[in-house]
């Protein structure tokens, strides 16, 4: 039984695309994508265009520090064909966030926008990706606490070729490390 990309997205599964293998600018080489969650937030009535958003958690271990390292929240927002080929969105505004219960009231945030319809540069045939500043664990703090991080793509707004504006928020599952 075949599932459409829309139904897969509604289940929180990654739609067909190559986005899961791309390390965005702002994430250092050697980082590992620990959590990735995507959903389709709109499909044009003719079925030729989907807008998708994803939330990510990236981790880069500090060598010889026993699993301690830098954690980055990230997001991706893009338009694609049902077959997964990237295409131009008319506009995108989005915000990547990373939160942790160990740091209440503090969110690491990075925002972005593209699209001439909102007065920014054209989105182009690409994803809009943002990465939060890192939360760096202190390798000299040996209290063996566990920190839990969640990545968020917050209030993503995408306008597609059918002049429909769709919005959504999505989060990753938690990622735990010694901190």
Domain containing 135 equals: 5-14+31-178
- Write out the H or E segment, with its range, that includes residue 40: strand 32-43
**Has residue 59 been placed in a domain?**
yes
**Has residue 98 been placed in a domain?**
yes
**Has residue 111 been placed in a domain?**
yes
Predicted confidence at residue 16, as pLDDT, reads 39
**Has residue 25 been placed in a domain?**
no
pLDDT in tens, 120-143: 888 877 778 888 888 876 555 666
In a 3-state reduction of DSSP, which class is residue 116?
A: helix
DSSP state letters, 103-115: STT-EEEEEEEE-
pLDDT in tens, 145-164: 788 999 999 889 999 989 89
Q: Which two tokens stand for residue 109?
A: 């945030």
178 φ/ψ angles, rounded to the nearest 5 degrees: -75, 135
**Has residue 130 been placed in a domain?**
yes
Q: pLDDT band for position 119 (50/70/90)?
A: confident
Q: Which residue has the higher pLDDT, 17 or 65?
A: 65
**Has residue 23 been placed in a domain?**
no
Domain count, the chain: 1
**pTM greater than 0.75 (yes/no):** yes
Distance CA 127, CA 19 (A): 8
**Has residue 131 been placed in a domain?**
yes
**Has residue 64 been placed in a domain?**
yes
pLDDT in tens, 23-67: 888 899 999 999 999 999 999 999 999 999 999 999 998 877 666
Distance CA 24, CA 126 (A): 12
């Amino acid at each position: 039984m075949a599932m459409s990309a829309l139904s897969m997205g509604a289940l929180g599964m990654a739609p067909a695309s190559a986005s899961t293998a791309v390390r965005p600018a702002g994430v250092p080489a050697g980082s590992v994508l620990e959590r990735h969650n995507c959903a389709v937030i709109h499909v044009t009535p003719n079925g030729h265009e989907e807008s998708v958003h994803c939330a990510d958690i990236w981790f880069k271990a500090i060598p010889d520090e026993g699993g301690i390292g830098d954690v980055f929240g990230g997001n991706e927002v893009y338009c694609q064909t049902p077959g997964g080929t990237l295409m131009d969105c008319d506009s995108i505004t989005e915000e990547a966030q990373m939160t942790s219960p160990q740091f209440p009231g503090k969110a690491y945030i990075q925002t972005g926008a593209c699209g001439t319809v909102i007065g920014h540069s054209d989105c182009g045939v690409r994803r809009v990706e943002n990465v939060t500043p890192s939360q760096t664990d202190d390798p000299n703090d040996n209290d063996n606490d566990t920190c839990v991080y969640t990545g968020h793509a917050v209030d993503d707004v995408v306008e597609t070729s059918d002049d429909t504006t769709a919005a959504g928020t999505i989060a990753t599952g938690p990622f735990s490390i010694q901190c």
